[in-house]
Amino acid sequence: MLRPSYIGSFPRADTQLDPPLPDVAFLGSSNVGKSSLLNALVGHRIAKISGTPGKTRALNVFLIPGLGAGASGLGHETPTPGPQAPGPLYFLDLPGYGYARAGKAQRTAFRALVKYALQRERLRGVVWLLDIRHSPSSDDRVMQDVLVAGETHVLTALTKGDKLSVGQRRTRERELREELELPEDQVVVTSARTGDGIVELREAIEGLVRGAA
């Protein structure tokens, strides 16, 4: 099994990638746990766990050889490679938003990056991350509006599930689904720490790539 690889960091999200493959983008406020989730999804440390929030301004691209076979998560579960497991794809790691000290130029650059990322020809969908403990911020709301306006396929990952008890987790999932009017089958509670929900999210991403192909 080939390892995922870092392709590069691109200031423009309309960059053509070679070879052309399906894209799945990851979006969320800074510190939501995006790097940790990316690493858990692919079973390798591809993304840097942020020490400095708001620092990344470009689109980081990773080539994922496949999400089924060999993607072992954090070793907490054994994924079964299905015969229909999709081939290689790109993970597009967009910078975290909502960084309080981001300047105007940085916000403008971020908006352009998202706009062009959502317009990518091979974009199959977006994994949108929300911290399960928090109410959606105004930046999260703006992002949801952008995703709806772009008619983007969205999977919502509720991160850091391990920070709540099982009961609280269920309650928060329901509350967030209702608050944001999210369809039940497009929301996954995850924990990069325990590996909970990682297999489910991987499968949902595979569905996204297959379904919209």
Binding site for ligand GDP (CB under 6 A): 28, 30-36, 49-50, 53, 96, 159-160, 162-163, 191-193
* Closest alpha carbon to 5 in 55, 44, 41: 44
Tell me how far CA of residue 129 lies from CA of 16, 96, 105, 143, 189, in angstroms: 25, 10, 24, 11, 10
Residue with smaller CB distance to ligand GDP, 23 or 131: 131
Nearer to ligand GDP, 53 or 70 (CB): 53
Nearest CA among 145, 60, 149, 43 for reference residue 96: 60
Q: 109 or 212: whose CB is closer to ligand GDP?
A: 109
Tell me the closest approach of the beta carbon of residue 39 to ligand GDP, in angstroms. Answer: 8
Note whether 120 and 14 are within 8 A (CB). Answer: yes
How many Å apart are CA 171 and CA 184, to the nearest integer?
13
Task: Provide, rounded to whole angstroms, the least separation between the CB of residue 201 and ligand GDP.
Answer: 12
Closest approach, Cβ 119 to ligand GDP, in A, equals 23
Dist. CA 195–CA 5, nearest whole Å? 21
State in angstroms the smallest separation of the CB of 29 from ligand GDP.
Answer: 7
Return the number of the residue (85 or 199) whose C-beta is nearest ligand GDP: 199
